[in-house]
C-alpha cells in the first residue's frame, strides 16, 4: 500500500493546499427549496458576471426544454373583435405558437397615429389572479394597466398563462415524471409563449421592434424576468411583487426541474442588466425586504456595467398586488426611460370603461381551430420536436452541453482529497459534497470501479477481485446515496427538483469528480448493474478520454426505464442514451 506521500507524488497535478471535506455530504443536509432564505453572491468584475449570465441563460432554457430552441413556425395570428374607445382599441388575439397549440390574449393599441419608427410595445403576462388577464380588482386590474399604457402610447399584448381564459389545451398545473424527462411543463409552455408573444408584437405594423418591454405581477412577474433573462429583445421591464430572496414562486408554472440549481430569482432578475428595470415590492408579501436585500443585490450588477441609474425600486405598504400605486410607479419609470417624459403628473392613472368579459375572450362563441391538439397530442409533438432537434445536432460540444445542463453536472475546476490508509475521500471546494471510497495501489492503467451498492459491495464482488489480480491501481467509491453514504434526504421539500439534482444526476457527478481528480487519459471506467448507466453518462461528459467498461445493453432508453432506473429530469430532451453513446464513440 502506498503512503499518502507516494500517492501525491504519482499524481502531482492533484497536489492541493490544505482544505476540508465536510464530514456530512451537504447534498443530504442543505436542501434548498422555494422557501429558503438565499443570499446573493458577489461578482468582482463584469467579465465574471457575464460568464455567469451566459451559463444561467442556458440553464433556464434547458430547464424549459428550449435548449436548443425549437423552430419558430408561423404564428398565423387571428386578430378580431375590435372594440374602440376614444383613445384606444382592444382586439382579441389567437396565436399558433407551435403547430396545433394556441395562445389567447388581447391587443391594446393607441388610436392616435404612430410616431416615426412606431410605438413601443409591451408584452404583459397576468399572474395567478382568479380572472387571469381579465382580473379587475383593487389589488390588481390587468385591463386598467393595459388601457392606460395604450393611452400613454404603447401597443400592449396581454396574453394568458396556460390553462387560463382562452389557453385551454392543457391544465394550468400538469406533468409527472415522464413529462419531466422531456422538460414538458407549464413553465416550458409559458416561456415559449412569451418568446412567441414578442415575435408577434414586433411583427405588427406601427410597433417599434427596438423598443419592446414586459411587465407583470406575481406569477406574471416570474414570466417577465425569465423572458428578459433569455430574450434580449426585452429592452425595459417591470416585474412586480415577485423578486425575492425568501420565496421563489409557489406554482408549477414557476418551478420547472433544474431551473434554480445553485441560483435563485434575484440572480435571474439581475440578468436584465443593464437594460432599464423597476423592482416593485410591498410590505405584505415575500418582497418585504426589497429595499435592504434584493434591490441592492441587483443594483450591484448594474453597477458593474456603470448603469446603476437604470434600475429603480418602489416599495409600498400593501398586500401582494399590482395596484394603482404600483401601476403608476411603472408608468413613470417607463415614461422616463422609454418615452423620454419625466413629468410624473402625466402618468396618473385614468379610470377605464370595463368591457364585458365575453367581449374580451377570443373563444367566446368560437371553438379552437380544427388542428388544435389535445394534451396527449401536444406532448407527443413536443417529444417528436425534441427528438428531431437532437438528431440534427452533430456538434459534439453542443450535445455535451445539453447533457451537462440536464444533469446539472460539471467537470470541476478543482477536486480535493483526503487519504487515510486505504480510505480516500473526495470533494469539490465550495460545494460541500463528500465522496468516500477506497483505493489500492498498483501499476498500469488506473481503474475506477462503480458498484450500485457502493464501495464495500464493490470490494467484495467478483469483478473487483478480477481487477485486483491484474495488479493495477483501483479506486472505488460510494456514489451518491449508495453504500455507507446513504443518509436521509428531504425529497419532500417544496419544489425539490427545481433546486436539487436527482440522486442519479449526483451519482454521475461523483464519478466525474473522481475522474477529474485522476485527470489522466485512458482511465478504465467500470460499471456493473445499474451503475453501468451512471458510467455511460459520466464517460460522455468526461473531459479526459476513458475506456468505458459498462454493459448497458439491457437499458433501451425508454421513458419508463428512465423513471425506474435513471431518473434525471430533462435527460430525454437532451438526447438521452443516444447522445451519451455518440459522445463516447471513438474516445477510447
Instruction: Tell me the pLDDT tens digit for each residue of 262-301.
Output: 999 999 999 999 999 999 999 999 999 999 999 999 999 9
Question: 142-152 and 324-334 helices cross at what angle (nearest 10)?
Answer: 30
Residue 16 reports pLDDT greater than 60: no
Q: Look at phi and psi of residue 430 and say left if phi exceeds 0, alpha if psi is from -120 to 50, else beta.
A: left
Instruction: Tell me the pLDDT tens digit for each residue of 152-190.
Output: 999 999 999 999 999 999 999 999 999 999 999 999 999
Q: How far apart are alpha carbons 291 and 279 in whole angstroms?
A: 10
Are 507 and 480 in contact by the 8 Å Cβ rule? The answer is yes
Q: Where are the alpha helices (DSSP H) in 116-167?
A: 142-152
Are 166 and 101 in contact by the 8 Å Cβ rule? The answer is no
Q: How far apart are alpha carbons 18 and 3 in whole angstroms?
A: 18
Residue 6 reports pLDDT greater than 50: no
The stretch 451-459 carries a mean pLDDT of 97
DSSP-assigned letters across all residues of 233-249? TEEEEEEES---SS---
pLDDT at 1: 36
145, 149, 150, 156 alpha-carbon torsion, rounded to 10°: -80
Residue 2 reports pLDDT greater than 60: no
Q: Which residues does 349 contact at the CB level (< 8 Å), separation at least 6?
A: 144, 148, 324, 327, 328, 331
Task: Between 19 and 199, name the one with better pLDDT.
Answer: 199
Q: How far apart are alpha carbons 496 and 353 in whole angstroms?
A: 44
Q: Which residues does 32 contact at the CB level (< 8 Å), separation at least 6?
A: 38, 260, 264, 493, 499, 500
Q: Where are the alpha helices (DSSP H) in 262-341?
A: 265-269, 294-304, 324-334
Residue 15 reports pLDDT greater than 60: no
End-to-end CA distance of the chain: 29
Write out 361-389 in H/E/C secondary structure. Answer: CCCCCCCCCCCCCCHHHHHHHHHHHHHHH
Specify the residue for cell string 464519478: 511
Q: Where are the alpha helices (DSSP H) in 392-492?
A: 396-407, 455-459, 462-468
pTM recorded for the entire structure:
0.95
Are 323 and 64 in contact by the 8 Å Cβ rule? The answer is no
Q: How far apart are alpha carbons 121 and 227 in whole angstroms?
A: 15
Q: Look at phi and psi of residue 380 and say left if phi exceeds 0, alpha if psi is from -120 to 50, else beta.
A: alpha
Nearest to 265 by CA among 307, 219, 232: 219
- Grid coordinates of 138: 383593487
DSSP 406: H
Nearest to 335 by CA among 312, 306, 304: 312
pLDDT band at 13 (very low <50, low <70, confident <90, very high): very low
Residue 487 reports pLDDT greater than 80: yes
pLDDT at 587: 59
pLDDT at 248: 98
Nearest to 360 by CA among 136, 74, 111: 136
pLDDT at 585: 86
Are 201 and 405 in contact by the 8 Å Cβ rule? The answer is no
Residue 322 reports pLDDT greater than 70: yes
Which strands form 416-420's sheet, in the order they lie side by side? 416-420, 423-427, 435-440, 474-477, 447-450, 523-527, 546-550
pLDDT at 531: 98
Residue 208 reports pLDDT greater than 80: yes
Q: What distances in angstroms separate CA 6 from CA 14, 212, 444, 520, 547, one per listed residue? A: 12, 63, 15, 17, 25
DSSP 359: H
Nearest to 455 by CA among 415, 428, 426: 426
Nearest to 408 by CA among 582, 581, 259: 259
pLDDT band at 586 (very low <50, low <70, confident <90, very high): low
Q: How far apart are alpha carbons 110 and 270 in whole angstroms?
A: 31
The stretch 66-77 carries a mean pLDDT of 97
pLDDT at 515: 98
Q: How far apart are alpha carbons 504 and 259 in whole angstroms?
A: 17
Instruction: Tell me the pLDDT tens digit for each residue of 499-555.
Output: 999 999 999 999 999 999 999 999 999 999 999 999 999 999 999 999 999 999 999
pLDDT at 394: 87
Bridge partners of residue 539, in order along the sequence: none
Are 173 and 251 in contact by the 8 Å Cβ rule? The answer is yes
Q: Which residues does 340 contact at the CB level (< 8 Å), separation at least 6?
A: none
- Grid coordinates of 119: 410605438
Q: Where are the alpha helices (DSSP H) in 139-230?
A: 142-152, 177-181, 186-203, 219-230
Q: Residues for the chain: how many in total?
A: 588
- The percentage of residues in the chain with a pLDDT greater than 90, rounded to a whole number, is 96
Question: Average pLDDT over the chain, rounded to whole?
Answer: 95
The stretch 129-156 carries a mean pLDDT of 98
DSSP 140: B
Amino acid at each position: 500500500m502506498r503512503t499518502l506521500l507516494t500517492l501525491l507524488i504519482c499524481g502531482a497535478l492533484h497536489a492541493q493546499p490544505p482544505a476540508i471535506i465536510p464530514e456530512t455530504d451537504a447534498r443530504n443536509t442543505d436542501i434548498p427549496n422555494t422557501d429558503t432564505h438565499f443570499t446573493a453572491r458577489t461578482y468582482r468584475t463584469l467579465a465574471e458576471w457575464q460568464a455567469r449570465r451566459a451559463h444561467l441563460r442556458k440553464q433556464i432554457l434547458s430547464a424549459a426544454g428550449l435548449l436548443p430552441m425549437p423552430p419558430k413556425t408561423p404564428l398565423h395570428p387571428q386578430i378580431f373583435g375590435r372594440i374602440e374607445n376614444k383613445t384606444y382599441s382592444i382586439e382579441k388575439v389567437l396565436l399558433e405558437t407551435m403547430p396545433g397549440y394556441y395562445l389567447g390574449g388581447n391587443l391594446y393599441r393607441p388610436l392616435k397615429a404612430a410616431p416615426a419608427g412606431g410605438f413601443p410595445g409591451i408584452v404583459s403576462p397576468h399572474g395567478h389572479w382568479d380572472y387571469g388577464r381579465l382580473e379587475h380588482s383593487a389589488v390588481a386590474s390587468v385591463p386598467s394597466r393595459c388601457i392606460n399604457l395604450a393611452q400613454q402610447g404603447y401597443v400592449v399584448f396581454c396574453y394568458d398563462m396556460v390553462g387560463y381564459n382562452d389557453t385551454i389545451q392543457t391544465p394550468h398545473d400538469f406533468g409527472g415524471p415522464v413529462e419531466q424527462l422531456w422538460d414538458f411543463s407549464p413553465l416550458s409552455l409559458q416561456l415559449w409563449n412569451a418568446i412567441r408573444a414578442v415575435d408577434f408584437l414586433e411583427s405588427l405594423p406601427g410597433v417599434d421592434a427596438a423598443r419592446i418591454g414586459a411587465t407583470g405581477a406575481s406569477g406574471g412577474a416570474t414570466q417577465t424576468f425569465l423572458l428578459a433573462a433569455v430574450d434580449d429583445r426585452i429592452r425595459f421591464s417591470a416585474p412586480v411583487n415577485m423578486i425575492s430572496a425568501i420565496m421563489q414562486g409557489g406554482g408549477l408554472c414557476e418551478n420547472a426541474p433544474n431551473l434554480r440549481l445553485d441560483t435563485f430569482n434575484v440572480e435571474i432578475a439581475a440578468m436584465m442588466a443593464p437594460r432599464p428595470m423597476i423592482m416593485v415590492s410591498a410590505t405584505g408579501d415575500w418582497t418585504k425586504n426589497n429595499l435592504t436585500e434584493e434591490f441592492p443585490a441587483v443594483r450591484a450588477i448594474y453597477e458593474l456595467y456603470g448603469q446603476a441609474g437604470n434600475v429603480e425600486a418602489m416599495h409600498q405598504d400593501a398586500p401582494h398586488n399590482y395596484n394603482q400605486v404600483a401601476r403608476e410607479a411603472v408608468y413613470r419609470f417607463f415614461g422616463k426611460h422609454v418615452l423620454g417624459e419625466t413629468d410624473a403628473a402625466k402618468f396618473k392613472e385614468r379610470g377605464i370603461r370595463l368591457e364585458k368579459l365575453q367581449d374580451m375572450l377570443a373563444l367566446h362563441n368560437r371553438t379552437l381551430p380544427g388542428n388544435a391538439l389535445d394534451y396527449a397530442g401536444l406532448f407527443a409533438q413536443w417529444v417528436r420536436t425534441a427528438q428531431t432537434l437532437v438528431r440534427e445536432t452533430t456538434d459534439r460540444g453542443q450535445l455535451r452541453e445539453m447533457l451537462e445542463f440536464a444533469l446539472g453536472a460539471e467537470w470541476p475546476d478543482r477536486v480535493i482529497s483526503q487519504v487515510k490508509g486505504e480510505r480516500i475521500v473526495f470533494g469539490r471546494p465550495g460545494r460541500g459534497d463528500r465522496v468516500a471510497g477506497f483505493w489500492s495501489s498498483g501499476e498500469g492503467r488506473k481503474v475506477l470501479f462503480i458498484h450500485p451498492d457502493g464501495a464495500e459491495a464493490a470490494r467484495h464482488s467478483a469483478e473487483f477481485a478480477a481487477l485486483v489480480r491484474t495488479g493495477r491501481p483501483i479506486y472505488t467509491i460510494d456514489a451518491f446515496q449508495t453504500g455507507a453514504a446513504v443518509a436521509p434526504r428531504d425529497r419532500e421539500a417544496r419544489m425539490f427538483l427545481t433546486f436539487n439534482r436527482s440522486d442519479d444526476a449526483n451519482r454521475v457527478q461523483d464519478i466525474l469528480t473522481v475522474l477529474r481528480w485522476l485527470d489522466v487519459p485512458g482511465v478504465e471506467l467500470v460499471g456493473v448493474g445499474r451503475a453501468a448507466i451512471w458510467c455511460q453518462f459520466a464517460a460522455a461528459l468526461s473531459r479526459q478520454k476513458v475506456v468505458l467498461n459498462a454493459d448497458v445493453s439491457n437499458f433501451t432508453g425508454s421513458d419508463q426505464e428512465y423513471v425506474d432506473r435513471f431518473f434525471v429530469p430533462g435527460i430525454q430532451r437532451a438526447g438521452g442514451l443516444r447522445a451519451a453513446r455518440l459522445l463516447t464513440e471513438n474516445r477510447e
